[in-house]
Structure 1
Amino acid sequence: MWLATGGCAGPHLIPVAFVSDNDAIVTATGESSKTVRRIQETKRARVAVGTTSDVVMIDTVLDGLVPVPEVATGVADRFAAVSHDPRKMSGYVYIRLLPRRIQVWNGFHEFSGRTVMLKGEWLSGPVD
């Protein structure tokens, strides 16, 4: 996924692997990274998964930064299966993000009605 954060120092965008954990999106990055500093400042991030013609965009809020020794074993195992294993590297932290707004896009025919979650609640019909 692409993970975008912002703050006083401006926007920052990185590609990262992720896994889901119940309602949360979980990724990991360096604990002293620009991403972590900016998400600590704003408590928000935007996630994009897919291509420019078939994408899911997710506005999230920070659920927490989880030190590597405190992450659930199942989450850590699933993350290690799709990326590096922070348990075997120093200086990493897991980031838990909660979706608040989800938009889908599969071309101009879906320009309206692309918001499928708003304020953390799934919608039953189009909003846009």
Structure 2
Amino acid sequence: MVPEPPRTLRQRKQDTLARLENDLDAWVASADRDGNAYLVPLSFLWDGAAFTFATAESSPTGRNLRSSGRARLSVGPTRDVVLVDGTVETFSRETVPADLADAFAAKLWDARVGTTRYAYFRVTPRRTQAWREENELAGRDLMRDGRWLV
């Protein structure tokens, strides 16, 4: 199978933003203080600047994100992947901004209700990469140090 020609950086950014606006789930990688990795799928809200996730405060992911302040995300299938490295801001049920929790609830579910205590995690991208095939590996960086390259 012959791959399609590589996309321009501008087209990759457009495709990436469309994926972030329309997809619902991402793989979220985190690690504990000893470097033990943990990977879990979570639904997300993309607001144009950052991702918001909610997971149980006591879960391994919740503990790892809170303590390390970093996450790696993967959105999309293997042959059209978006990888994001970002910094994490944590909110409890009591401290989450109402507009953020309301937007998350409108798109996904309301993590403020129920007996399980959920925390919200806002991940701001610092590095973003996107590629489909080997011919796009050379230009896979779309964002570095929190700034879009195109």
TM-score (norm 2): 0.74
- Candidates 79, 82, 87, aligned match of 1:61: 87
Match in the other structure for 1:96: 122
Query: How far off its partner does 1:61 sit?
Result: 0.9
Once residues 6 and 115 of structure 1 are traced to their aligned partners in structure 2, the CA distance between those partners, rounded to angstroms, is 23
- What do you get for the CA RMSD once the two structures are aligned? 1.6
Q: How many residues align?
A: 123
Taking only the aligned residue pairs, the percentage that are identical comes to 38
Q: Which runs of 5+ in 1 are unaligned?
A: none
Q: Runs (4+) of structure 1 moved beyond 6 Å? A: none
Instruction: Pick the structure with greater CA Rg.
Output: 2
Amino acid at match of 1:76: A
Once residues 121 and 103 of structure 2 are traced to their aligned partners in structure 1, the CA distance between those partners, rounded to angstroms, is 14
Query: How far off its partner does 1:22 sit?
Result: 4.9
Match in the other structure for 1:52: 78
Asked if structure 2 preserves the Cα contact closer than 8 Å seen for 1:3 and 1:48, the reply is: yes
- Candidates 61, 75, 80, aligned match of 1:35: 61
Query: How far off its partner does 1:20 sit?
Result: 2.2
TM-score (norm 1): 0.86
Counterparts in 2 of 1:1-128, with a 5 A limit?
A: 1-7=26-32, 8=34, 10-62=36-88, 64-89=89-114, 90-124=116-150
Moved more, 14-23 or 93-102: 14-23
Match in the other structure for 2:23: none
Once residues 72 and 36 of structure 1 are traced to their aligned partners in structure 2, the CA distance between those partners, rounded to angstroms, is 18
Query: How far off its partner does 1:107 sit?
Result: 1.2
Q: Which runs of 5+ in 2 are unaligned?
A: 1-25
Higher relative strand content: 1
Asked if structure 2 preserves the Cα contact closer than 8 Å seen for 1:60 and 1:99, the reply is: yes
